[in-house]
């Protein structure tokens, strides 16, 4: 079936979305929020031993497991684990549903996840920070198991501020302060001038790899915390981080994954673009600033026109259709729902992406979203954070900002 044959442009039935969200959350709750993750191959004792200290062998082992069309993790001895970023996504979805329904169970479940995160930060660093529950070889660095990074920490920080605002609990504000302290204070600055600032992905002084979304996510969270606490310095520092990323926008409104662009095989990809757009929007709202409005408008136009098919299918990159990845689908729903909430436009696009996703990436028999759709087949591997975590937040975001509970 082609994208055109599976096109769905009408808004999804409002009554169906809460049921799907409920099923998705149930899959996570039934396994106590522990699951497999996209890059967890080196949690296999066998692959870890074979890869050793070799960057190339680590990359190959990770890619073999990530790209396998069949689920080989159990055979390799990869164990399920709680993923800090995944927990933050589920917590935000639960808090959003609580805001819509007043469900005490959702509030209690979100508290439990966030309290667990606060109790289980990455060890050995000032503030609060989190990493992944597996050793991770990326193109630009190697991170041992639980070694913190700014991307995971920023997502947990957003969940903590959601809880502070939604539950009126200052404990989560205090935790978010510590998380932002890590983001702004840990090594390493990769670029700095009077108006711009760029931070590294991981707090390793030897790393020089610039990844675009890192500074945007850190800056957006810092500005949000500054607005909540009345700390203008946090807003200023958040603006410097976002300004660096905005300065790297291409003439057509896109961002490369890394700088210089030759530093990564990823060009203009789907979900990292969404991360940057959401962070730019977050900064503008928190700072009460229109400085980056033009960058946002050009960026979201590129995002909609070049990273999504007319049917609503998410392109992997602007120059590459396949694989259609569930994370890209979810990020589109989130970003366009936030556009609707704050700019009054975006609902139609969010609905189109959601409709396509439900028609092509949702398996009602299992209650899981497919990991990827490739030419001629769908990959059914069940990755809790990547599939269910992102879609839980996407569904909740759509309901809260575009749909409403029926």
Q: How far apart are CA 211 and CA 371, in angstroms?
A: 24
The dihedrals phi and psi of 131, each to the nearest 5 degrees, come to -135, -155
Question: Would you state the pLDDT for residue 70?
Answer: 86
Top pLDDT among 305 and 64 is at 305
> And the tokens for 219?
């800056």
* CA 261/CA 214 separation, integer angstroms: 15
Tell me how far apart the alpha carbons of residues 66 and 68 are, in angstroms, rounded to a whole number. 6
- DSSP annotation of 44: S
Residue pLDDT, tens place only, 255-271: 999 999 998 888 999 99
Q: What percent of the chain shows pLDDT beyond 90?
A: 88
Task: Answer yes or no: is pLDDT of 204 > 80.
Answer: yes
Average pLDDT over residues 51-67: 91
Distance (Å, whole) CA 221 – CA 216 = 9
CA distance 93 to 99: 10
* 100-126 residue pLDDT tens: 999 999 999 999 999 999 999 999 999
Coil, strand or helix: which one is 82? strand
Percent of the chain with pLDDT over 70: 96
What mean pLDDT, rounded, does the chain reach? 94
The CA distances from residue 157 to 14, 84, 181, in Å, are 30, 11, 11
Q: Does residue 49 carry a pLDDT above 60?
A: yes
What is the per-residue pLDDT for 4?
42
CB-count burial class (<10 Å; 0-12, 13-18, 19+) for 99: middle
Q: Measured between alpha carbons, how far is 92 from 159 in angstroms, rounded to an integer?
A: 6
What domains can you pick out in the chain, each with its CATH number?
16-403 (1.50.10.10)
- Residue 132 and residue 152 in contact, taking contact as beta carbons nearer than 8 Å: yes
């Amino acid at each position: 079936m082609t994208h055109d044959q599976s096109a769905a442009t009408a808004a999804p039935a409002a009554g169906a979305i809460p049921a799907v969200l409920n099923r998705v959350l149930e899959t996570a709750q039934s396994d106590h929020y522990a699951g497999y993750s996209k890059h967890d191959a080196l949690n296999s004792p066998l692959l870890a031993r074979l890869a050793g200290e070799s960057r190339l062998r680590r990359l190959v082992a990770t890619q073999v497991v990530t790209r396998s069309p069949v689920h080989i993790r159990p055979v390799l001895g990869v164990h399920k684990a709680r993923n800090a970023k995944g927990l933050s996504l589920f917590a935000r979805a639960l808090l959003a549903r609580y805001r819509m329904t007043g469900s005490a169970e959702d509030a209690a479940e979100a508290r439990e996840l966030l309290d667990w995160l606060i109790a289980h930060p990455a060890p050995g660093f000032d503030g609060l920070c989190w990493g992944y529950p597996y050793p991770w070889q990326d193109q630009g660095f190697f991170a041992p198991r639980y070694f913190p990074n700014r991307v995971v920490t920023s997502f947990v920080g957003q969940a903590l501020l959601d809880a502070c605002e939604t539950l009126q609990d200052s404990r989560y504000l205090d935790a978010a302060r510590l998380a932002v302290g890590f983001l702004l204070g840990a090594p390493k600055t990769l670029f700095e001038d009077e108006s711009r600032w760029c931070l590294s992905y991981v707090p390793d002084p030897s790393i020089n790899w610039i990844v675009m979304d890192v500074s945007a996510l850190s800056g957006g969270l810092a500005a949000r915390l500054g607005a909540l606490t009345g700390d203008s310095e946090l807003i200023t520092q958040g603006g410097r981080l976002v300004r660096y990323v905005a300065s790297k926008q291409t003439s057509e409104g896109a961002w490369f994954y890394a700088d210089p662009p030759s530093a990564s095989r990823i060009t203009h990809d789907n979900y990292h673009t969404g991360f940057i757009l959401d962070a730019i929007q977050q900064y503008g709202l928190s700072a009460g600033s229109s400085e980056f409005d033009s960058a946002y408008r050009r960026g979201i136009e590129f995002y909609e026109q070049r990273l999504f098919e007319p049917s609503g299918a998410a392109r992997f990159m602007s120059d590459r259709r396949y694989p259609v990845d569930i994370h890209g689908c979810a990020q589109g729903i989130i970003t366009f729902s936030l556009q609707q909430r704050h700019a009054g436009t975006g609902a139609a696009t969010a609905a189109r992406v959601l409709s396509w996703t439900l028609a092509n990436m949702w398996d009602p028999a299992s209650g899981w979203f497919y990991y990827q759709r490739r030419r001629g087949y769908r990959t059914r591997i069940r990755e809790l954070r990547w599939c269910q975590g992102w879609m839980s937040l996407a569904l909740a975001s759509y309901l809260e900002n575009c749909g409403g509970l029926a």
